[in-house]
């Protein structure tokens, strides 16, 4: 069954100082999917996520999120999405719960509530410890909690697995499944590693030098027994034959 698209990017281009870092890019994220955005360092993933969340404006092309044009209707989009892009910034002297409570205040909703969200990311034990004393992995978990605590329709997570240990990665995978299956969210996450994406995502988009070259459901390729996933994506990422 074809799922309805919830993010649609058409002919997107972004230029910095006369150089195109994103060009001819199209992306369709189906509602309810966990969409893995795969690309080498510098391929353009963060730039596209910043455009999706209104932090950067496109040089040309259209970007629709939940039917809203991101450039013209940024407020409507921001109310309905949650994001973690690059290293998250927190109030360092406050605890995880206090940081989350401030975010909920700002968004004007109760969402999951700080305690539940902290439990969901395995940070409940941090209590009153200030964020300044958190490890990289703990900060990443808190950043993820802040992205979904207000129950957005779409979660946009830029390299969310960064800094997590294998247990953390497994926990996040379970969490992402819960958020999509039980709370109806759609998740768009990026990574430069196929090994991270293949266990979490059901759809994959591959970006190479600023252009999204391929979008495919993982089920579709995994069903083809003669294809090795690693080889398949390596070929695309190295500009090889993708047929």
> In the complex, which residues of this chain contact Mg ion (CB under 5 A)?
45-46
Backbone angles phi, psi at 97, to 5 degrees: -60, -40
Pick the closer one to ligand ADP by CB: 104 or 187: 187
Pick the closer one to Mg ion by CB: 40 or 102: 40
Among Mg ion, ligand ADP, none, partner that 234 touches (CB below 5 to 8 angstroms by kind): none
Whether residue 46 contacts residue 21, with contact meaning beta carbons closer than 8 Å, is answered with no
List Cα–Cα distances, 237 to 26, 150, 209, 213, 225, in angstroms: 16, 36, 9, 9, 21
> Least distance to Mg ion from the beta carbon of 85, Å?
8
> Least distance to ligand ADP from the beta carbon of 130, Å?
29
Among Mg ion, ligand ADP, none, partner that 243 touches (CB below 5 to 8 angstroms by kind): none
Report CA 212 to chain centroid distance, whole Å. 16
**Using CA atoms, how far apart are residues 62 and 77, in angstroms rounded to an integer?**
14
* Strands, E assignment, 4-121: 5-16, 19-30, 34-38, 60-65, 68-69, 81-84
Q: Give Rg (Cα) of the chain.
A: 18
CA-CA-CA-CA torsion sign (215, 217, 218, 222): negative
Among ligand ADP, Mg ion, none, partner that 47 touches (CB below 5 to 8 angstroms by kind): ligand ADP
Q: Would you give the DSSP letter of residue 150? A: T
Whether residue 117 contacts residue 100, with contact meaning beta carbons closer than 8 Å, is answered with yes
> Least distance to Mg ion from the beta carbon of 45, Å?
5
Whether residue 22 contacts residue 74, with contact meaning beta carbons closer than 8 Å, is answered with no
Among ligand ADP, Mg ion, none, partner that 239 touches (CB below 5 to 8 angstroms by kind): none
> Least distance to ligand ADP from the beta carbon of 133, Å?
28
> Least distance to ligand ADP from the beta carbon of 187, Å?
17
Pick the closer one to ligand ADP by CB: 16 or 91: 16
Among Mg ion, ligand ADP, none, partner that 205 touches (CB below 5 to 8 angstroms by kind): none
Pick the closer one to ligand ADP by CB: 38 or 149: 38
> Least distance to ligand ADP from the beta carbon of 55, Å?
10
Kindly tell me the burial class for residue 114, based on how many C-beta atoms sit within 10 Å of its own C-beta (0-12, 13-18, 19 or more): buried
Pick the closer one to Mg ion by CB: 33 or 46: 46
Pick the closer one to ligand ADP by CB: 39 or 82: 39
Among Mg ion, ligand ADP, none, partner that 41 touches (CB below 5 to 8 angstroms by kind): ligand ADP
Residues lying near ligand ADP in the complex (CB under 6 A): 16-17, 21, 39, 41-47
């Amino acid at each position: 069954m074809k799922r309805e698209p919830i993010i649609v990017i058409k002919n997107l281009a972004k230029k910095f100082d006369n150089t195109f870092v994103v060009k001819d890019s199209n992306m369709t994220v189906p509602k309810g999917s966990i969409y893995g955005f795969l690309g080498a360092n510098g391929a353009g993933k963060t730039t596209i996520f910043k455009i999706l969340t209104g932090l950067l404006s496109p040089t040309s092309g259209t970007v629709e999120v939940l039917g809203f044009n991101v450039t013209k209707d940024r407020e409507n989009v921001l109310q309905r999405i949650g994001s973690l892009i690059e290293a998250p910034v927190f109030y360092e002297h406050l605890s995880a719960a206090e940081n989350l409570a401030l975010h909920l205040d700002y968004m004007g909703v109760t969402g999951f509530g700080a305690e539940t969200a902290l439990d969901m990311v395995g940070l409940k034990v941090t209590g009153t410890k200030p964020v300044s004393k958190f490890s990289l992995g703990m900060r990443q978990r808190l950043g993820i909690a802040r992205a979904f605590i207000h129950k957005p329709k779409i979660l946009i997570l830029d390299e969310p697995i960064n800094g997590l240990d294998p247990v953390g990665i497994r926990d996040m995978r379970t969490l992402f499944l819960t958020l999509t299956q039980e709370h109806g969210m759609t998740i768009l996450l990026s990574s430069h590693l196929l090994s991270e994406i293949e266990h979490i995502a059901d759809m994959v988009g591959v970006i190479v030098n600023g252009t999204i070259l391929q979008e495919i459901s993982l089920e579709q390729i995994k069903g083809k027994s003669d294809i090795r996933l690693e080889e398949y994506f390596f070929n695309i990422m190295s500009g090889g034959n993708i047929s």
